[in-house]
Amino acid sequence: MTTYNTTDVNGLNIFYREAGDSTKPTMILLHGFPTASHMFRELMPLLADQFHLIAPDFPGFGQSSAPDHATFAYTFDHLTDVVTAFIEQLNIDKFYMYVFDYGAPIGFRIALRHPDWILGIVSQNGNVYQEGLGNKWAERQDFWDHPTEAKRNSYRNAFATATIKDQYTFGTQPGTVSPDGYTLDIAYTRTAGYADRQLDLIYDYQNNIKMYPEFQAYLRQYQPKLLAVWGKNDPSFIYPGAEAFQKDDVHAKVAFVDSGHFALETHAAEIAQMMIEYFIDKR
């Protein structure tokens, strides 16, 4: 069964889901935008016999504390600090990690800081290569290079109701995506201060791209077991980003599913089976 927990990390209430036997290998599941740990609600039961699973909500997301952006820096470095402290508080020092979307730059920062912690990586539409950036990122580069308040405000459309629903459904077969995930994400956009903290992170995302060479150097040096499984129809992080892992990591295995950005919404069972075959059956 999955349990739902909250722990204090540096004065923040961090919510997390936990499943599986703690004597099994641990896997930390790191969510993306605009979602939270509920994106793993179908995957976790499928893996609970094989892994000890921990899925936190980042600060400012889901059920975790969301301090005002005037007093809390919503940067990927800072979120990484909090997630790292969360992992340390749970006394976990060896784990697999599943990274998706925003979870990728957070997870790869953790790997850079603590390479000895990492047993293996699942990157599901979790990009760390220029080859994986879709067309929208050129427009964001203009915002990063020449920021204005008007450009910042234009990115409120990134978490508009129609945009969130489209993130879930684009590239999927009609009728295959439950409304549960995107409806909850839309509800979270109504929480106090949501827009400012998310706009801060959209602006800071430029620093993730600047770190791509460091993430790639980590892969070349440590050669972790890595499964890059991609919703191949994702327009944000396009499928060449999955194939690029094989340039740097001899252990990288690439797989595609006929889905979009939120591939777990349609292919959780297939992805779970890939993970078990790659990390458990061949261990």
Q: Which amino acid is at 75?
A: T
Task: Express each pLDDT in 141-181 by its tens digit.
Answer: 999 999 999 999 999 999 999 999 999 999 999 999 999 99
Q: What is the mean pLDDT of residues 7-21?
A: 97
DSSP 237: B
Task: Express each pLDDT in 134-148 by its tens digit.
Answer: 888 988 999 999 999
Pairing relationship of beta strands 118-124 and 95-99 according to DSSP bridges: parallel
Considering only 106-120, 129-143, 160-174, 251-265, which range has the smallest mean pLDDT? 129-143
CB of 2 closer than 8 Å to CB of 19:
yes
pLDDT (0 to 100) of residue 283? 55
Which one of 38, 52, 261, 267 is the catalytic residue?
261
pLDDT band at residue 124 using 50, 70 and 90 as cut-offs: very high
The domain of 35 spans 3-281
Task: Express each pLDDT in 37-88 by its tens digit.
Answer: 999 999 999 999 999 999 999 999 999 999 999 999 999 999 999 999 999 9
Q: Which residues, in sequence order, are CB contacts of 233 under 8 Å at separation 6+?
A: 170, 171, 172, 258, 259, 260
Structural domains of the chain, count: 1
Domain at 234, CATH number:
3.40.50.1820
Does the pLDDT value for residue 198 go beyond 60?
yes
Q: Which residues, in sequence order, are CB contacts of 204 under 8 Å at separation 6+?
A: 74, 75, 76
CB of 202 closer than 8 Å to CB of 140:
yes
CB of 213 closer than 8 Å to CB of 220:
no
CB of 84 closer than 8 Å to CB of 30:
no
pLDDT band at residue 281 using 50, 70 and 90 as cut-offs: confident
What is the sign of the dihedral through the CA atoms of 130, 199, 182 and 19?
positive
CB of 82 closer than 8 Å to CB of 56:
no
pLDDT band at residue 282 using 50, 70 and 90 as cut-offs: low
Q: Mean pLDDT over all residues of the chain?
A: 97
CB of 134 closer than 8 Å to CB of 238:
yes
Does the pLDDT value for residue 113 go beyond 90?
yes
Q: Is-catalytic flag, 52?
A: no
Alpha-carbon span 218 to 248, nearest angstrom: 9
- Residue from 26, 33, 89, 87 nearest 61 by CA: 33
Measured in degrees and rounded to the nearest 5, phi and psi for residue 251 equal -90, 0
Q: Which amino acid is at 199?
A: L
Half-sphere exposure of 25 (CA within 13 A, CB side): 19
Helix ranges (DSSP H) in the chain: 43-47, 76-89, 103-113, 136-145, 149-154, 161-169, 179-188, 194-210, 212-222, 240-243, 245-248, 264-275
CB of 244 closer than 8 Å to CB of 132:
yes
- Tell me whether residue 213 is exposed, middle or buried, using C-beta atoms within 10 angstroms of its C-beta: 0 to 12, 13 to 18, 19 or more: exposed
